């Protein structure tokens, strides 16, 4: 018999509020360690390196092979160092370059900078091979050794150095150090803003409700977790089935309603869709006991009830982004199991349902890491957005940490801020209970994919979903790798349309028509069709230039039942359970609402 794991089970054991004296002592120790390490368990990495070193010690053949490889690489570097003919060879000829963007500038072909780059790339190549070559090491420990060694090497990359980066060295000489003075000023300002909890410099030009999230609409429902926004129609006729969008609660919803030119919401209503958007409340420490079932009921089940009332009983296209997509899939499975015919389709945008290959973010999730994090959240009541943001920065340290060091602090140049950067700095907190449940049931135990998840009192599985699915992955996604998103083909028992868009986790979603350099691939596998591996799919499906937005809109209309007059903007009966405080006097709350403005 398969053991099931419910969200409510975690309430009884995941983050207890009472402890005996010995348990409290342990907890305080874990909290202190978590604060020092940024929530990362040193024991996790110690175990990985012990596994790797121990197996290397009993594999003399592998050790000899790695030693021979190191000697060969050193000899090659020596040849480049002593022979003048090689001083100006273009880096493109180096077998270890692998298209590393850090060394694409022509200045890196000059000596000694070319030598620095080759030495770094040779070392990086050796470690990349060594992390995978030792037999007997567990897959997770290989991933951790590879990840941590790469992070250490990225720290030591010559592109980060004052005198080992040709562009920085030249700028310092030309400006006689003025760039360093500007950089020090930038650093002091950034540290002061960080300490005060203020957003980064330059983001003040993007105000929510004025510059961002300006699509006209109205809040039609509010409870302790969500505000539900209905947007004004932009066409005389709309598809009969409205769209309900559930964003991730780790972010503000307006990534899907940025500036007018790149707002997915505005694009949808311009194409004749009625759109509702969930806006999550930014939880406080007193919300520590809000769990996944609460998010499911408020963000999916109750929101669907409001949409149903306003849209006159029409079925709904349920859309989820990132974590919101995982929740939407759970909700769709729950409705399918209950035989509630309320959905027309399910769309998952960069959302995972099978966490077996969840990408590098999973290196932060094991029993040791989660135990440390649970104890920290037990004290705080919430997980602060800065801690989660730090994890994402480490995943993309080249772009988010070291390139910032080079540009802003060594060269003294501030970047041109864009709306997506301003949104990215506007993080949210997460209740301790919910986050612990999410990490355990999905990342750690993969309960949903393996048929063990109990949500709102019902066992749910992806095979319970009875409506067509549109699943979108993005090619450079570090949070929800597209091959992990693609795994829904193995679990869903319905038609699945999979699309792969260029870009990353956020940039690939904010991919408006006219955005240069964009492309996507798309294919539908019918319920009775055969499985195709992700690599086979990539080879067989040709790429189309442009944005995936129009193709998705067409797909939604194909799964709609015609057109109708736009429904009126929702009115809330002040005596109903959905009443909004203050709106009984005829003063509705316009979009973007109030929750999105919370800090």
Catalytic residues: 322
The DSSP 8-state label assigned to residue 502 in this structure reads: S
CB-CB contact of 405 with 244 (8 Å): no
| Cα→Cα distances 144→363, 401, 438, Å | 6, 20, 22
Q: Is 12 helix (H, G, I), strand (E, B) or coil?
A: helix
Structure tokens at 355: 């966490």
Judge whether 332 and 351 are in contact, CB under 8 Å.
no
- Asked whether the bond before 592 is cis by omega within 30 degrees of 0, the reply is yes
Sign of the alpha-carbon torsion through 485, 486, 491, 494: positive
Residue 380 CB burial class (10 angstroms; 0-12, 13-18, ≥19) = middle
- Provide CB contacts within 8 A for 564, sequence distance 6+: 237, 238, 239, 240
CB atoms within 10 A of CB 594: 13
Q: Under DSSP, is residue 222 helix (H, G, I), strand (E, B) or coil? A: strand
State the helix-helix crossing angle for 113-133 and 139-155, rounded to 10 degrees.
Answer: 170
The rounded distance, in Å, linking the Cα atoms of 336 and 323 is 20
Q: d(Cα 120, Cα 161) in Å, to the nearest integer? A: 12
DSSP letter (8 states) at residue 212: B
Q: What number of residues does the chain have? A: 599
- Nearest residue to 225 (alpha-carbon basis) of 320, 289, 285, 295: 295
Using DSSP's 3-state secondary structure scheme, residue 394 falls into helix
3-state SS of 231-253 is ECCCCCCEECCCEEEECCCCECH
As given in the structure block, the two tokens for residue 579 are 């009443």
- How far apart CA 257 and CA 512 sit, in angstroms, is 11
Q: Using CA atoms, how far apart are residues 281 and 229, in angstroms rounded to an integer? A: 13
- The helix or strand, by DSSP H or E, that contains position 36, with its residue range, turns out to be helix 21-37
Closest CA to 263 of 208, 219, 323: 208
H or E element, residue 172: helix 166-175
Please say whether the dihedral angle defined by the alpha carbons of residues 176, 179, 182 and 187, taken in this order, is positive or negative.
negative
- For 218, phi then psi, to 5°, come to -145, 145
Q: Contact, 521 vs 391, CB < 8 A?
A: no
């Amino acid at each position: 018999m398969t053991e099931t794991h419910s969200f409510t089970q975690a309430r009884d054991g995941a983050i207890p509020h009472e402890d005996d004296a010995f348990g409290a002592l342990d907890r305080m120790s874990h909290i202190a360690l978590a604060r020092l390490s940024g929530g990362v368990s040193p024991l996790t990495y110690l175990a990985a390196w012990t596994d790797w070193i121990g197996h290397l010690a009993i594999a003399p053949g592998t050790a000899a092979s790695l030693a021979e490889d190191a000697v060969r690489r050193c000899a090659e570097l020596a040849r480049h160092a002593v022979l003048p003919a090689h001083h100006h060879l273009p880096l493109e000829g180096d077998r270890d370059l692998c298209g590393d963007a850090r060394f694409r500038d022509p200045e890196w072909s000059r000596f000694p900078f070319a030598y620095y780059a080759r030495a770094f790339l040779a070392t990086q190549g050796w470690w990349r091979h060594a992390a995978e070559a030792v037999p007997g090491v567990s897959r997770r420990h290989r991933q951790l050794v590879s990840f941590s060694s790469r992070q250490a090497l990225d720290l030591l990359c010559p592109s980060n150095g004052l005198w080992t980066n040709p562009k920085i060295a030249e700028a310092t000489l030309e400006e006689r150090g003025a760039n360093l003075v500007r950089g020090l000023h930038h650093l002091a300002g950034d540290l002061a803003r960080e300490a005060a909890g203020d957003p980064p410099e330059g983001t003040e030009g993007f105000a929510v409700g004025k510059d961002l999230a300006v699509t006209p609409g109205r809040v039609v429902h509010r409870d302790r977790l969500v505000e539900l926004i209905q947007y004004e129609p932009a066409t005389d006729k709309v598809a009969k089935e409205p769209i309900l969008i559930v964003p991730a609660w780790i972010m503000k919803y307006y990534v899907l309603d940025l500036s007018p030119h790149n707002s997915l919401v505005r694009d949808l209503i311009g194409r004749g869709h009625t759109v509702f958007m969930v806006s999550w409340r930014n939880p406080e420490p007193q919300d520590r006991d809000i769990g996944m079932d609460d998010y499911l009921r408020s963000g999916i089940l109750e929101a669907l009830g409001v949409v149903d009332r306003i849209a006159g009983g029409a079925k709904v296209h349920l859309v989820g982004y990132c974590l919101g997509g995982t929740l939407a899939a759970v909700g769709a499975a729950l409705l399918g199991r209950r035989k509630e015919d309320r959905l027309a389709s399910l769309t998952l945008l960069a959302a995972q349902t099978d966490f077996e290959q969840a990408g590098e973010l999973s290196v932060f999730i094991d029993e040791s890491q989660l135990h440390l994090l649970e104890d920290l959240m037990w004290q705080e009541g919430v997980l602060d957005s800065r801690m989660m943001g730090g994890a994402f920065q480490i995943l993309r340290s080249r772009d988010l940490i070291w390139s910032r060091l080079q540009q802003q602090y060594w060269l003294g140049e501030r970047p041109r801020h864009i709306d997506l950067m301003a949104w990215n700095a506007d993080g949210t907190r997460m209740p301790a209970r919910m986050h612990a449940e999410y990490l355990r049931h999905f990342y750690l135990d993969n309960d949903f994919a393996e048929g063990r998840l109990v949500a709102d009192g019902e066992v749910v599985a992806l095979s319970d979903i009875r409506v067509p699915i549109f699943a979108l992955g993005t090619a450079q996604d570090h949070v929800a790798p597209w091959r992990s998103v693609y795994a829904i083909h193995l679990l869903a028992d319905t038609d699945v349309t999979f699309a792969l868009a260029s870009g990353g986790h956020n940039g690939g979603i904010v991919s408006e028509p006219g955005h240069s350099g964009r492309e996507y691939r798309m294919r539908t596998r019918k319920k009775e069709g055969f499985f195709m591996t992700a690599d086979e799919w990539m080879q067989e499906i040709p790429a189309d230039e442009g944005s995936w937005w129009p193709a998705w809109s067409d797909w939604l209309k194909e799964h709609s039942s015609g057109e109708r007059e736009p429904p009126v903007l929702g009115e809330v009966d002040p005596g109903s359970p959905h009443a909004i405080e203050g709106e009984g006097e005829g003063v509705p709350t316009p979009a973007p609402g109030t929750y999105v403005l919370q800090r």
